[in-house]
Amino acid sequence: MRWIGFLSLVALSECLVTVPLTKIKSMRESLRERDLLRDHLQRYAHSRANKLLRQPRVTVEPMRNYLDIYYVGIISIGTPPQKFKVVFDTGSADLWVPSIYCSSPACVTHKTFKPRESSTFQDADRPIWLLYGSGSMTGLLGYDDVRVGDLVCKSQAFGLSTTESGIALEFAAFDGILGLAYPTLALKDTTPVFDSLWKQGLLPENLFAFYLSSNKEKGSVVMFGGVDHSYYRGELQWVPVSTQGFWQITVDSISMNGTVVACPGGCQAIVDTGTSLVIGPLDPVLNILKNIHTWTTSTGEYVVSCDDVQSLPDIVFTINNVTYPVPASAYIRRVRGCPGGCNLDIDTSGSSSLWILGDVFLRLYFTVFDRANNRIGLAPAVV
């Protein structure tokens, strides 16, 4: 909020006091008479410029879209910097990259961190293990300087993988993962990257935001410390975080053609940039699939006729009394090797009653993750 100066006027009913005024020379006039004005203005301008340069500013890191499956940005670790491709993942809280100590196939095909080539690396002598939906890693904990854009996070905890399991990691277009969830999900006694950036005074605001492009390799960004309003339309609608671990929120209902098809009494959902699909529990998702007349392929995928895509209804998520439609053009894509068949980017592998709003949803809505107020902001993304 910007405070505006104002003049308070007081009426004196009993008397009017007149005070003679004597004009006092301004500082500018006094300095001019003494031929010191130019030097003063130059010093002032230099001081103001330095102050502005010292102010933290929003950092925008470009990401590459890999076939609408995941979004990858560049960071570096160590001194001198060693560059890595990472997924900026709101569904986890740890940073890790492959290391030269790893001989798994996934490490052989990716860039590996070399601790001995960094003068700022510190070994924590502590084994770690991390599990993801698409694989897992074991490794060692270390500390080093981590660079995201023009931000340098000093002595940041990160994992150096010694084994990586899962075919998804082996053929991934990224080297590692940078988690952006709450610290409660991070390895014990470590501070996640975003929290370190904030604590080290590198960010003007305690938030970050995502813009995910659709069907374009370039144009996607993650921004730290502020919001660029040119990436969305209208006003941000704020949703309270219901549980501080994942970025978890309450969904009021999920409907199609005005009829509730899932989540009738409300349910919980994770807003997750590291998941490409919308994922939900089996029965509610099957109910959605029934409403769009799918059939199952030999590989177990749910498919619809591509000719029917234009006539299929939106899936509408109502969140904090605001509707967020997801059209068929967003949740359906053409399948290679299946003539006339289009696949659904909705998965039934959800556990319990928890939903995951992944990139299928986030490509439509610019998303702000506000740690200062424990809330998520959503607005239609600019196409």
Give CB contacts under 8 A, 24+ apart, made by 190-198: 190/94, 190/141, 190/157, 191/156, 191/157, 192/93, 192/94, 192/95, 193/95, 193/146, 193/148, 193/153, 193/156, 194/224, 194/371, 196/153, 196/154, 196/156, 197/148, 197/151, 197/153, 197/224, 197/225, 198/371
Contact 330, 314 (CB under 8 A): no
Contact 76, 82 (CB under 8 A): yes
Map tokens 């569904």 to a residue: 91
Number of neighbouring beta carbons within 10 Å of residue 215: 9
CA 345 – CA 327 distance, rounded (Å): 12
Helix (H, G, I), strand (E, B) or coil at 117: helix
Q: Catalytic annotation on 89?
A: yes
Alpha-carbon torsion 129, 131, 132, 134, what sign? positive
Amino acid at position 171, single letter: F
3-state secondary structure 30-88: HHHHCCCHHHHHHHHHHHHHHHHHHCCCCEEEEEEEECCCEEEEEEEECCCCEEEEEEE
Number of neighbouring beta carbons within 10 Å of residue 17: 6
**Beta pairing class for 355-357 and 267-271:** parallel
Per the residue annotation, which of 89, 145, 175, 359 is the catalytic one?
89
DSSP H or E stretch at residue 168: helix 167-170
Contact 274, 246 (CB under 8 A): no
Q: Encoding tokens for residue 110?
A: 């990716």
Per the residue annotation, which of 145, 195, 252, 272 is the catalytic one?
272
Catalytic residue positions, numbered: 89, 272
